[in-house]
Amino acid sequence: MAATPHDACSVPRLLVSVRDAAEARLAAEAGADLVDAKDPEDGPLGALPPEHVSAILAAVAGRALTSAVAEPQAVAAMAGTGADYVKVAAGPLLREGGLADAASAARGRLVAVLFAEDGIPPGAVVAVAAAGCTGAMLDTRGKAGRRLTDLLGRAELTGFVAACREARLLCGLAGSLALSDIPTLTALGPDYLGFRGGLCFGSDRRGGLDPERVREAAERLRAPARSDAA
């Protein structure tokens, strides 16, 4: 699949993180555009075993795009599952110069994740693009209630999205997002908005996905597109 940013005038797509095949099936049926495989019990970028990711891809059955979190040393193995994108924490690889190797191991499907708690280092997006990544994403390391918008202001988020556009990278925003964040973040023009806890029962990311919340998120994201077409 050719991974290129979608039209900057279109609305963001819905990324839903799932932990198993049952959640993947639910997310795809409820309207997720991208089903993201990760372990919510293991921090913001907990990787599932490749065989679990393969089961998730089978459950999605082509109804949505897919991504999977990988440890840096396991990017090739995760890419081998056939996920459309592989996500990896960018910070250590940028500091140690290993991001290009990871991007090569993912065969043009690597999405580099930066954490909002660290700010957005000058030149980080340019470095991600230069390494051969296909996308960059902002997330939050901590999952104790502080959302992306609590850690980074509108100017910083706008600058990140613009830098991704300039570098022709897919751009994602995530980090303890709630449904109420959709209008504000949609206006910034990212390619994807990523959710987990905000779409779970009781807003508990370790709990199960609530299909009604997933549907509501999909509806809210698609409402601007319908309004523009009217």
| Of 8-12, 167-171, 176-180, the least confident | 8-12
What percentage of the chain reaches a pLDDT higher than 90? 85
Q: Alpha-carbon distance 119 to 152, whole Å?
A: 7
Banded model confidence at residue 44, pLDDT cuts 50, 70, 90: confident
Closest CA to 45 of 19, 23, 13, 69: 69
Q: Which residues are catalytic?
A: 38, 87
Over residues 177-202, the mean pLDDT reads 96
Write down the pLDDT at residue 80: 97
pTM for the structure as a whole: 0.93
Q: Alpha-carbon distance 81 to 143, whole Å?
A: 28
Identify whether the C-beta of residue 95 lies closer than 8 Å to the C-beta of residue 82: no
Q: Alpha-carbon distance 89 to 195, whole Å?
A: 17
Write down the pLDDT at residue 228: 54
CA torsion sign, 189 to 157 to 17 to 59?
A: positive
Q: Which CATH number fits domain 13-229: 3.30.565.40, 3.20.20.70, 2.40.50.140, 1.20.140.10?
A: 3.20.20.70
Over residues 165-170, the mean pLDDT reads 97
Q: In sequence order, what E strands does 19-166 have?
A: 34-37, 65-69, 85-89, 110-115, 135-139
How do residues 101-114 score in pLDDT, each as one tens digit? 999 999 999 999 99
The helix (run of H) or strand (run of E) holding residue 126 is helix 124-130
Work out the mean pLDDT of the chain and round it to a whole number.
Answer: 92
Q: Alpha-carbon distance 153 to 11, whole Å?
A: 20
Instruction: Spell out the alpha helix ranges (H) of 71-123.
Output: 75-79, 90-96, 99-105
Radius of gyration of the chain measured on its C-alpha atoms = 16
